[in-house]
Structure 1
């Protein structure tokens, strides 16, 4: 580690290298030895910062949850829209994150890769992301956008739609029919707008 590079900055650099490896070759391509080689450090250095391979996967997942929560929160804070317009913006932010950060997204919700119960920092980051989505839905429940809907049920429905749409576009059949970023954005927009119409009806 260069003398001018503090621990947190260097840790982020190792995470960037690890994420790039996953994006290039999938999870099997990730090893701490290869992270060290790509980062130009000794093979023991990543172990000093993360402990083991599972810990670096959990750190990538935590990073993803934090970015997802920030995107949802940022969209809603930047918009003067309320109700279903804000819900639509949050849904688009969710799907866009999945498509732009596939390595993160594929780790965040797969307990066989990262069991959040064993990684408190990743679990806390996931809870913060969920709280950001919950805040958007809560506003819709309070202004009666979700008519006669329980808040918990409304959150589950919204999350299921956004996550399912993101997964189908990233790794499922929707991604085969909508192969370009523009086509995927159009597909997501149409589905989310239909959802908006259904809950406004």
Structure 2
């Protein structure tokens, strides 16, 4: 007999409902009432757990950074079995995550919608992006902090260019080919970080 899974808490149900609303409608259309209705809880429940809309979206964004961190950690483990650098593996995982969860990533970096000074959010941000910093530090001989910021800007920028269709237009390719091109550009960039950091 299969064990009975633990009951889902109202807070977890609200977070899941908010994430679903976000994915379907975008951050601007997420409301406390709509989330409560989707979670099948009272209209007062979101305010009870999160305070207000910004608090709820901050919790969703925090969970998003935790998911990104898990995706990057998994990529770092898989890298040991592949013929690619840790930096390239993390960069490709970032691109894949961004393209798979576009509305979530948009929210995660939209300070105007979040409580940007929330301790849990800051910790989750540092955890996820710290993996990129470590990978850059392993290959960059100098200016590792600057190279880690540049590396994040590259992968985040590639996600945006693919999502907006700009990358495909510039290179005159089928839009469906753009994600593969973005991953290839990550590999090219990662291969150049160490030599460039020495100059």
Q: TM-score range by the shorter chain?
A: 0.7 to 0.9
Contact 2:162 2:178 in 1 (8 A): yes
Residue aligning to 2:178: 184
- TM-score, normalised on structure 1? 0.82
SS state of the match for residue 142, structure 2?
coil
Residue aligning to 2:123: 124
SS state of the match for residue 59, structure 2?
helix
Residue aligning to 2:135: 136
Contact 1:83 1:139 in 2 (8 A): no
Contact 2:162 2:179 in 1 (8 A): no
Residue aligning to 2:3: none
Q: Tell me how far apart the structure 1 counterparts of residues 56 and 106 of structure 2 sit (CA, whole Å).
A: 14
Structure 1's 178 and 192: CA in aligned 2 closer, same or farther, altered over 3 A?
farther
Residue aligning to 1:145: none
SS state of the match for residue 125, structure 1?
helix
Q: Tell me how far apart the structure 1 counterparts of residues 174 and 110 of structure 2 sit (CA, whole Å).
A: 24
CA deviation map 1:136-165 (0-9, x unaligned): 112223xxxxxx431112212211111111
Contact 1:169 1:178 in 2 (8 A): no
RMSD, aligned CA: 2.3
> Within 5 A, what are the aligned runs for 1:1-201?
5-7=7-9, 10-80=10-80, 85-117=85-117, 119-141=118-140, 148-171=141-164, 173-174=166-167, 179-180=175-176, 183-199=177-193
Contact 1:76 1:136 in 2 (8 A): no
Q: Tell me how far apart the structure 2 counterparts of residues 81 and 87 of structure 1 sit (CA, whole Å).
A: 14
Alpha-carbon shift at residue 88 of structure 1 (Å): 0.8
Structure 1's 178 and 55: CA in aligned 2 closer, same or farther, altered over 3 A?
farther
Q: Tell me how far apart the structure 2 counterparts of residues 81 and 156 of structure 1 sit (CA, whole Å).
A: 27
Contact 2:62 2:120 in 1 (8 A): yes
Q: Tell me how far apart the structure 1 counterparts of residues 135 and 194 of structure 2 sit (CA, whole Å).
A: 16
Contact 1:178 1:187 in 2 (8 A): no
Contact 2:132 2:148 in 1 (8 A): yes
Unaligned runs of 5+ in 1: 142-147
Number of corresponding residues:
187
